[in-house]
Amino acid sequence: MKDYKEYSNPLSERYASREMLYLFSPHKKFTTWRKLWIALAESEKELGLNITDEQVSEMKANVENIDFEYAAQMERKFRHDVMAHVHTFGECCPKAMPIIHLGATSAYVGDNTDAIVLKEGMELVRKKLVNVMDNMAKFARTYKNVPTLGFTHFQPAQLTTVGKRACLWLQDFVLDFETLEFAIENIRFRGVKGTTGTQASFLHLFDGDHEKVKTLDKMVTEKMDFDKVLTITGQTYTRKQDTRVLSALAQIAETTHKMATDLRLLANLKEIEEPFEKNQIGSSAMAYKRNPMRCERVCSLARHVISLSMNPYMTHATQWFERTLDDSANRRIGISEAFLCIDAILELLYNITSGLVVYERMIEKRVMEELPFMATENIIMESVKRGADRQEMHEAVRVASMEAGKRVKMEGQSNDLLDRLAAEKSVPLNKEEILALLDPIKFVGRAPEQVDQFLAEEIDTVTSKYSALLGMDVDIKV
């Protein structure tokens, strides 16, 4: 067979950021394992076990000194990744080798590292989500007074504003943000629990001293920057934690899919477009095209995240007693891909919302094509104020509306409803007076005020709290 280039995941080649890719890298994983072994040894020493300062110092000095080739050799020999890295760490820490992983099981480094990565991954997602929300808030403020057609069933409906519509997307992000915040604040460390979660090995090490075992669990948890630890575990932390985290990511995905879909529809209406670069090609054949490729990519990746969120539900549901290993391969793929996809989605949305193009003249044109129909109630009411019969006005407007609608739909002509009504003898208004009733801003209700209230009460509090996170450099590779 020819020496072809091997498959590589497009999430790493095309989509995800370097900072998110690092969280799921071997370097991050195995240096975290070593930090966990150090925290364990240091705490055991402080609680009276025969571990020396020299052994702990040796371990600390070699956190970054990982011989990955030797580790691979050891894993082929032992068929066990944790023991392979115990021996690899021991090679550069010969004095500490006898006490590395003392009393622990594989899940001590595996699950606690997973909890650390989940927490840091969600914090990175939070940073990017806050930046997207800040961009969208600026957009909503800028366009809060620009009337646009509302759509129900993708049919023209009562007017709203461009800024108010953006707040519909933002409202969903607020709910997602609350879910994400809850997941970050409540993720729990597995802690120091032993092989089946009973802490039997540590109870033996401390000669039956239950208080020292409890303190050890607390000390390691705090050393690894967690304020919550699971009191009860089997061999692993409950896989329900994965469900909570991926559910939070999936909720962000559904919101981004909805928003990106709306933007794709608006692009078709020629009202709003995503940024289009000077040399960008929309189609290899149709040179005029401006495809919403970034919004389409958001939708594509979002569907994948939503599908991945089912994995932890099924995994947790099928774990037997204290644990089975049929979760391992699944979690390696599903968790990392969910985070990498959401990372790519939020970078894309940050790029999109940094340069949305609004075609106000096109929006106004479409509003004025439909507004005469929507304004008929106001025309009837104003006519009645001037002495006309309400029922006669209703019939006159109904007939004129039907004829104007036929002209638009059947003949492809412009909407001439206003001219028809101005010419109708029973209508006591001339065209200028009718046009005065058709100022679009009069038909948007409290949309501008709702934007101001919503941004002040629900968005500004978030962006103010996390102001240090604002500002991103994104590199959209393709």
Q: Mapping DSSP to helix (H, G, I), strand (E, B) and coil, where does residue 197 land?
A: coil
CA distance 341 to 382: 55
Residue 153 falls in the annotated catalytic set: yes
- The tokens for 109 are 């480094």
* β-pair type (357-358, 272-273): antiparallel
CA distance 252 to 345: 9
Report the Cα 11 to chain-centroid distance in Å: 16
CA distance 115 to 32: 11
Q: Quick one: DSSP state of residue 5?
A: P
Q: What residues have CB less than 8 Å from 405, skipping those under 6 apart?
A: 373
CA distance 86 to 94: 11
Q: What residues have CB less than 8 Å from 329, skipping those under 6 apart?
A: none
Query: Closest Cα partner for 174 from 136, 119, 118, 142?
Result: 136
CA distance 297 to 391: 53
Q: What is the largest CA-CA distance in the chain?
A: 104
Q: Which of 80, 204, 283, 426 is catalytic?
A: 283
- CA distances (Å), 25 to each of 32, 161, 272, 400, in order? 11, 45, 39, 68
Half-sphere exposure of residue 372: CA atoms within 13 angstroms, side-chain side: 24
Q: Which of 8, 153, 284, 464 is catalytic?
A: 153
Considering only CA atoms, give the Rg of the chain: 31
Half-sphere exposure of residue 32: CA atoms within 13 angstroms, side-chain side: 22
202 in Cβ contact with 194 (< 8 Å): yes
Residue with tokens 């002209």: 407
Phi, psi of 224, deg, nearest 5: -95, 15
Q: Which residues are catalytic?
A: 153, 283
